[in-house]
Structure 1
Amino acid sequence: MTPTLDDRITGSLIGAAVGDALGGPVEGYTPEQIVERHGGRITGIVGPWHGASWRTARPIAPYHKGDGHVTDDTLMTHALIRVYEKVRDHLDAYAVADHLVPELIGKPVWIPELEAEALPLQRIFLAEKWIVTRLHYGHADPREAGHGNIVNCGAAMYMAPVGLVNAANPEGAYAEALDVAGAHQSSYGREAAGVFAAAVAAACAPGATPESVVRAALSLAKDGTRSAIEAVVEVAAHHRDFESALAPLREAVAPFDTVGPDYRAPSLGARRPSRLHAIEELPVALGMLLIGEGDYRHTVLGSVNYGRDCDSIATMSGVIAGALGGEDAVPADWSKRVAEASRLDLHAPAEALASVAREVFARDAARRRAHESAYAALTSADR
């Protein structure tokens, strides 16, 4: 049966959290290092890279990555959903300033990696702290606050709610995400946020396939982001298992990725604005989606075993695969363990966002009718 809107939203958001939790403990490592550490490829939820010494082991300390704990990707996604719950309409950069910033600095939540209740600000990465610095302390114009930040996947990683509110409308999702992400990112980091939201919206369309999702992304992507996706898609077409694709996908995206071969030692040109480059995460996520033929397990495990920023790659591919297949596409044992380990109700955010999506569609329909009526009156003399 074709998944309903509610089912696609649920599958997408649960799929994001599970992908995030699976990728977290091996983030930053190479496929070879992952095999050496775990005795083979990752096939499910694993523990921290440094075991019981996670509190002090560098470079991860003091975060408990592993054992089903979600990371900042999921924390930011859920925070954006809470903004939608308040606004109950399309968002823009001002909604980030007015509502997301207070969520980050004023409302404690359970942080699985800290095993404590804390402000989200105490967990999010420096690129996300930039939002607070620029908007709360610097009083920057929200539409321009992203300028000067490091250019990375920070905005893209939590843009799934924008795609889901604009379900089956990739163009609308792209435009809204670009506005929202302007408060956080610039250049290809902002572009990736728009393209990812568009891909999520496309995945919600009845009859959507991995191929139709990629076509929608390419129809909107610009500059280096488009070129990187094209390069990865060309390679993905020759693979039907992620094992054989790990090295070729990295080789395809490498010319567009500014971080360089050593993920933990970025190049001097890393994360700077450019029309020629792209984030690595989104193209690879789309490539894994094609290789896995949309199957959630294969798509996400490919993303996790790719290494590098694999929690965000698996979050993005998990969002899209979950939207394509609905909640049943996500292994129930994984989602149950992630929910319990992270102390999260993974269904509540989906239910809230589905309600908002319906309200926004009703508002959009009313606005369209008003426009059509006004336009008809304006052009009546032409008939």
Structure 2
Amino acid sequence: MDNRSRARGCLAGLAAGDALGRPAEGMEPAEIAERWGRIEGYVADTPLGSDDTEYALLTAKALLRYRGDFSAETVADLWQQEVCGQEGAFAGSGFSEMAAIRNLERGHRPPRSGQHAHSWSDGLAMRVAPIGIAAAGNPTEAARLAWEDGLVSHAGEGIYAGQAVAAGVAAAMGGADAEGAYAAAVDVVPADSWTARCLRTAHDVVAAAPDWETAARQAVDRLAVHTYYWADLAPEAVGLTFTAVLVGRGDARETILNAVNLGRDADTIAAMAGAVAGAMAGIEAIPEDWLAAVAVAPGVCLRTTKGMHPMDVADDLAELAAELQVVS
């Protein structure tokens, strides 16, 4: 399997997971089961991705523009030039991103721009799949680049979670299986971090559970923070993401559906799981009837991404990966 297929699978998995999970966002697994049974495909009349897909495209734009000069400073430049001051609402944009945008508009540069009350969200983790593609086969480099991207909008656990996803995608792009992607993810974050603990909990749950239903129930019971107002805590979301990845064992369809049916921040969890599994299995493994949602970005959240197509972006990122490997 070549990098182009893996890159396309990664971004198609992300966009499809985003669209599949969107109707289940904020729901508990029992609520999903009561309403739909097990979600096995699109349940919305017009399936469409959300901020997860558009922020991933924004990271891709930064990578493709700055290439070997990608850093917190250059990413902040892009945000200030093309995101700050955007006309119209940032439809669906998360608290962490909006706080960072306001900080940048006030003149705060990284890391100050990412130091705010929502710096622990999964907003970085949802957008780093393009970094994993660009650093194909090099999880350590993926984690470094995710750190640079993260300084613009996040801090602490929010950055660790992003590093874990970027490393998992990079490992998958290099041919790793589900266990290998998990190992890469846990290896790049501090061992005593909340993110690492959630990743290890996910692995323990999957190893001990006799079936998916048991794994899903125990993962949500042990990882979900029900005392908080929202389900976007980065360590929780990344732990649930790798629960779906480990149970899916490289099957992109099953991995994404597993993630969707976990609920919680379902669109983001499914987008992240879809990115990892899509990179493992390639574009051929993404069901054809899901590809309708892998379409030109409407720019409803980020105007600067309007007109970008995930598959064109994936091709460009695969070429960038080859270029960066030659340079290194």
TM-score computed with the length of structure 2 as normaliser: 0.89
After superposition, the Cα gap between the structure-2 partners of 1:46 and 1:353, relative to the gap in structure 1 and judged at 3 Å, is same
Distance 1:178 1:21 in 2: 27
Q: Does 1:232 align with 2:202?
A: yes
Alignment partner of 1:174 is 2:143: yes
Partner of 1:133: 102
Question: What's the CA shift string for 1:191-211, capped at 9, x where partnerless?
Answer: 1111111111111113x1101
In the other structure, the counterpart of 1:87 is 66
* Unpaired segments ≥5 residues, structure 1: 48-65, 108-117, 255-259, 272-277, 365-383
Percent of aligned pairs with the same residue?
32
Of the three residues 127, 151, 162, the one matched with 1:158 is 127
Q: Distance in 2 between matches of 1:87 and 1:175?
A: 15
Evaluate the alpha carbon distance shift between residue 225 and residue 119 of structure 1 in structure 2; reply closer, same or farther with a 3 A threshold.
same
- 1:87 and 1:341 mapped to 2: Cα distance? 21
Paired residue for 1:46?
43
Distance 1:328 1:119, change over 3 A: farther
Q: Which residue of 1 aligns with 2:158?
A: 189
**Preserved CA contact (<8 Å) 1:11 1:326:** yes
* Counterpart AA for 1:148: H
Q: 2:99 touches 2:116 (CA, 8 Å); kept in 1?
A: no
Mapping of 1:25-36 within 5 angstroms? 25-36=23-34
- Name which of 275, 278, 284 aligns with 1:328: 284
Q: Is the 8 A contact 1:8 1:326 kept in 2?
A: yes
Change (3 A) 1:79 1:106: farther
Query: How far off its partner does 1:143 sit?
Result: 2.7
**2:78 pairs with one of 62, 86, 99:** 99
The structural deviation recorded for 1:338 is 4.3
Contact 1:12 1:320 in 2 (8 A): yes
TM superposition shift of 1:239: 3.7
Determine if contact 2:15/2:293 at 8 Å carries over to the other structure: no
> Compared with structure 1, are the counterparts of its residues 293 and 239 closer, same or farther at alpha carbon in structure 2 (3 Å cutoff)?
farther
Asked if 1:247 corresponds to 2:247, the answer is no
RCO higher in structure (CA 8 A, sep ≥6): 2
Q: Aligned pair in 2 of structure 1 residues 220, 345: CA closer, same or farther (>3 Å)? A: closer
Following superposition of structure 1 onto structure 2, how do residues 67-86 of structure 1 map, counting pairs within 5 Å? 67-86=46-65
Determine which structure has more spread, i.e. the larger CA radius of gyration.
Answer: 1
- Name the amino acid aligned to 2:106: G
- 2:326 paired with 1:356: no
Assess, with a 3 A threshold, how the Cα gap between structure 1 residues 266 and 75 changes in structure 2: closer, same or farther: closer
Cα pair 1:170 1:199 within 8 Å, conserved: yes
Whole-angstrom distance in 2 between the partners of 1:247 and 1:79: 34
Q: Is the 8 A contact 1:42 1:304 kept in 2?
A: yes
In the comparison of the two structures, how many residue pairs are matched? 317
The corresponding residue for 2:301 is none
Report the equivalent of 1:59: none
Match of 2:9 among 11, 26, 34: 11
Q: Is the 1:80–1:161 Cα contact (8 Å) retained in structure 2? A: yes
Aligned to 2:179, which of 187, 211, 215? 211
Q: Please give the alpha-carbon distance, in whole angstroms, between the structure 2 residues aligned to 1:301 and 1:168.
A: 26
Q: CA deviation at 1:4?
A: 0.8
Matched with 1:307 is: 263
What RMSD, in angstroms, separates the aligned Cα atoms of the two structures?
Answer: 2.3
Report the CA distance between 1:359 and its aligned residue. 2.5
TM-score, normalized by length of structure 1? 0.77
Q: Does structure 1 conserve the Cα–Cα contact (< 8 Å) formed by 2:26 and 2:230? A: no
The unaligned stretches of length 5 or more in structure 2 are 299-306
Q: Aligned partners of 1:120, 1:155: CA distance in 2, in Å?
A: 20
Which whole-Å deviations, capped at 9, do the CAs of 1:319-351 have from their partners, x for residues lacking one? 000000110111111013543896873311112
Shift in CA distance, 266/9, structure 1 to aligned 2, threshold 3 Å: closer
How far residue 119 of structure 1 moved from its aligned partner, in angstroms, is 5.5
What amino acid is aligned across from residue 354 of structure 1 in structure 2? A
Residues 341 and 354 from structure 1, CA distance in 2 versus in 1: closer, same or farther, beyond 3 angstroms?
closer
Q: Quick one: structure 1 residues 314 and 241, their matched pair in 2 at CA, closer, same or farther if it must change by over 3 Å?
A: farther
**Preserved contact between residue 49 and residue 293 of structure 2 (Cα < 8 Å):** no
**Residue of structure 2 equivalent to 1:261:** 226
Letter matched to residue 261 of structure 1: H
Amino acid at match of 1:156: A
* CA displacement, residues 30-57 of structure 1 (integer Å, 9 cap, x when unaligned): 111112222x11110012xxxxxxxxxx
